[in-house]
């Protein structure tokens, strides 16, 4: 805008000097039409060149990543301490919030006891195998004795040395002892299966108890929330007494990170014809009137909301938009020491594509005029 006004003013002065001051030519309707036609096209040449070779945007804002602070607790839990001051930078790992840990500490103790019981049960399983093996030996011994007696009475009964009922009793005893042997063998197999229930040589009961303990310890640790990165809590709304847990769906705070801020500038689509990553950029941040920061094009976001359709049963409808979709360009900025780079900070951004260098100085003047104008704009005291 400033460049356009400057070129217009210069041309008006030029026409005024030729026709009215020096009076080298006599002004008439014909010269008036020619002067207007030349002036308009001269202005368009500059505007088109600046628009494509050095695109300019005042719809630009500082972007910082934010992390939603969401407590991960299985029980409704009371917030007991707020350990961070708003708008104060903290380091990664600094505690931010602490919740009541009574229930979770008890769950850790319970899981610890279950782990000890599982370890003891694994030892009992080893003894069960030994006891089952011994039971088989006893059952086999009883079966061998019963068979010996059975054979003895089978010889005595025909010779009249013993009654038939004695032989029948030992026949029944052999059958009973055979069943006992099979039962003992089944108990041994059952004990061995229980003992061999392992993963990588560790009993599954122990692994299950260990998993329960680790889960309980995890939630106990989550009763204190730590800073995920260097940054700050800007709007501190959480207060002691706040209840969070499985009934809460949203975050209790937004953590603004310190690292890797960037500027997101939007441009009309036709202005990005020659823009590519790596090109030089100048930034006039409203926070620092009169200063120009340098940077480069990091990426072009080739997508807008107008190009997105969500899955639904409705057929697409087409309407002429009020404004064509603008394309965002991600700008990385060289931030001087002791300069603040606030999230949401407004800026003007000029991109220098390397083409049309004869017009480049006009854009550099343009963005500097914008920066110095921030000393008095807006005109509200």
**Helix, coil or strand: residue 330:** strand
Tens-digit pLDDT profile for residues 202-222 = 888 888 899 999 999 999 999
Contacts for 361 with CB less than 8 Å, ≥ 6 apart: none
* Confidence band for 381, pLDDT divided at 50, 70 and 90: low
Contacts for 133 with CB less than 8 Å, ≥ 6 apart: 188
Please state whether the peptide bond connecting residue 378 to the residue before it is cis, i.e. omega within 30 degrees of 0. Answer: yes
Q: In whole angstroms, what separates CA 75 from the centre of its chain?
A: 23
By the 10 Å C-beta count (0-12 exposed, 13-18 middle, 19+ buried), 58 is classed as middle
Helix (H) / strand (E) element for 295: namely strand 293-301
* Whole-prediction pTM: 0.69
Residue 197 pLDDT > 60, yes or no? yes
CATH fit for domain 66-100+223-257, picks 2.40.10.10, 3.30.450.20, 2.40.50.100, 1.10.10.10:
2.40.50.100
Tens-digit pLDDT profile for residues 149-191 = 778 877 777 777 677 777 778 778 878 878 888 887 888 788 7
Paired strand residues for 282: 294, 350
Residue among 113, 73, 117, 74 nearest 97 (CA): 73
The CATH architecture that domain 56-63+261-308+322-381 belongs to is Beta Barrel (2.40)
CA distance 132 to 62: 74
In terms of average pLDDT, the best of 1-15, 17-31, 322-336 is: 322-336
Tell me whether the CATH fold assigned to 56-63+261-308+322-381 matches the one assigned to 66-100+223-257: no
Q: Are 272 and 353 in contact (CB under 8 A)?
A: no
What does the domain layout of the chain look like in residue ranges? 1-53, 56-63+261-308+322-381, 66-100+223-257, 104-218
Tens-digit pLDDT profile for residues 52-86 = 899 999 999 999 999 988 888 888 889 999 999 88
């Amino acid at each position: 805008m400033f460049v356009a006004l400057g070129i217009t003013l210069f041309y008006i002065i030029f026409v005024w000097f030729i026709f009215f001051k020096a009076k080298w030519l006599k002004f008439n309707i014909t010269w008036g039409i020619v002067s207007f036609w030349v002036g308009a096209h001269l202005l368009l040449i500059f505007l088109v060149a600046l628009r494509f070779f050095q695109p300019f945007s005042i719809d630009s804002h500082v972007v910082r990543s934010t992390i939603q602070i969401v407590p991960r607790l299985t029980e409704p839990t009371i917030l007991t301490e707020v350990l961070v001051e708003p708008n104060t930078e903290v380091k990664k790992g600094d505690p931010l919030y602490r919740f009541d840990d009574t229930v979770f500490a008890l769950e850790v103790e319970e899981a610890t006891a279950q782990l000890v019981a599982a370890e003891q049960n694994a030892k009992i399983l080893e003894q069960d195998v030994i006891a089952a093996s011994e039971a088989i030996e006893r059952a086999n011994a009883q079966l061998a004795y019963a068979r010996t007696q059975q054979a003895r009475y089978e010889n005595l009964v025909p010779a009249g040395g013993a009654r038939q009922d004695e032989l029948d009793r030992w026949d029944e005893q052999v059958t009973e002892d055979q069943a006992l042997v099979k039962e003992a063998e089944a108990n041994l197999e059952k004990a061995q299966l229980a003992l061999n229930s392992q993963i990588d040589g560790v009993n599954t009961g122990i692994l299950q108890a260990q998993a329960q303990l680790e889960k309980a310890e995890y939630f106990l640790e989550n009763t204190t929330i730590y800073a995920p990165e260097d940054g700050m809590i800007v709007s501190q709304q959480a207060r002691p007494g706040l209840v969070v847990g499985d009934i809460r769906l949203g975050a209790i705070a937004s953590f603004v990170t310190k690292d890797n801020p960037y500027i997101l500038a939007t441009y009309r689509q036709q202005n990005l014809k020659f823009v590519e990553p790596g090109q030089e950029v100048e930034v006039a941040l409203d926070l620092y009137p009169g200063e120009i920061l340098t940077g480069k094009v990091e990426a072009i976001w080739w997508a807008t909301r107008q190009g997105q359709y969500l899955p639904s049963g409705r057929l697409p409808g087409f309407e002429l938009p009020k404004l064509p979709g603008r394309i965002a360009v991600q700008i990385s900025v060289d931030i001087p020491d002791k300069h603040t780079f606030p999230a949401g900070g407004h800026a003007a951004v000029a991109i220098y594509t390397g083409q049309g260098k004869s017009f480049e100085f006009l854009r550099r003047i343009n963005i500097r005029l914008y920066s110095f104008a921030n000393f008095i704009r807006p005109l509200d005291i």
